[in-house]
Amino acid sequence: MENAVLGQVALVTGASRGVGAAAALALADAGYAVACAARSTRDNPRRTPGTLDDIVETIRARGGTAIAVPVDLSDREQVGAMVEQTVAELGRLDVLVNNAGVTFVGDIDIPLRRHDLVMAIDLDAPLIAIRHAVPHLRAAGEGRILNVSSLAALKPVPGLMSYGIAKVGLERMTVDLARQLAADNIAANCFRIDSPVASEGTLANLPDVDHSGFAPSSEAAEGILWMLDQPTDYSGQLESMTHLAHREGIMPTAASRPLTPIEMFTGVHDDQPNVFVDG
């Protein structure tokens, strides 16, 4: 992969921590120049650890090329500007990784302003980013779009209804885009995280859960890079993290866990264990 991507540019959202930061580091190690996009900076930190400045400095210390692109993904104008800044500073765009996501606890009674924010960041922002990215991917001769989803797209997780709605919409959008962009040699795929990952957000939100069997964020990044390394006719794929790990012999922690269902759950499942955590 390294020789093939020298001079190519990747844009990763949610790159200040967790899977996004790990993906940005892995892409940089593979030879990409990386635009790291997120809200959290040293001048404007969030409660969860990690900033764009930290990731960019780490990439540069390893000899890679990276820029920080602070962005509020709930603002459509900023999402478009994020893509254009990447191309203006790094010269082109070859890969877009829509990783950023937020969630709030709540089901049918979730405050609508929180529901709207989940939809804006988790579903609308990827669409706007892709709309801006496609002309640049076409100009590069080929391109790859990778959307990051969750088991919540398929399984109703109590308290995460809005998040699940956004993620299943993201998966549907991925397949539609693959068909629309195939003639342009642009692949669109989705990586569904259905094996527990010990990201900073997970550790903060589930402090009482045993994380010893969780995969590190770098392992999810390994799966993302595997997908980005495929030919562009590999497109329209909704890859389960656990199934991909078992099939390809990668991501060893995920490969050690039981296979997760890959069809949408139906019926009433309140009495079922949370397979996202318990396997």
Is 234 marked active-site? Answer: no
Kindly compute the dihedral angle of the four CA atoms of residues 160, 201, 27, 44, in this order, to the nearest 10 degrees.
110
Distances (CA, A) of 115 to 76, 134, 157: 17, 28, 15
Contact 69, 35 (CB under 8 A): yes
Laid out side by side, the sheet with 186-193 consists of 66-70, 33-38, 9-13, 95-98, 143-150, 186-193, 238-240
Number of neighbours of residue 259 by Cβ within 10 angstroms: 16
Helices (H), 182-251: 200-205, 217-228, 241-248
Please give the span between the terminal C-alpha atoms of the chain, in angstroms, as a whole number: 32
Q: Which of 163, 169, 201, 253 is catalytic?
A: 163
Closest CA to 122 of 173, 81, 80, 85: 173
Q: What is each CA distance from 118 to 38, 144, 242, 243, 264, in whole angstroms?
A: 15, 24, 25, 27, 21
Which DSSP string corresponds to 109-178?
A: TS-HHHHHHHHIIIIIHHHHHHHHHHHHHHHHT-EEEEEEEEGGGTSPPTTBHHHHHHHHHHHHHHHHHH
User: Which residues are catalytically annotated?
Assistant: 163
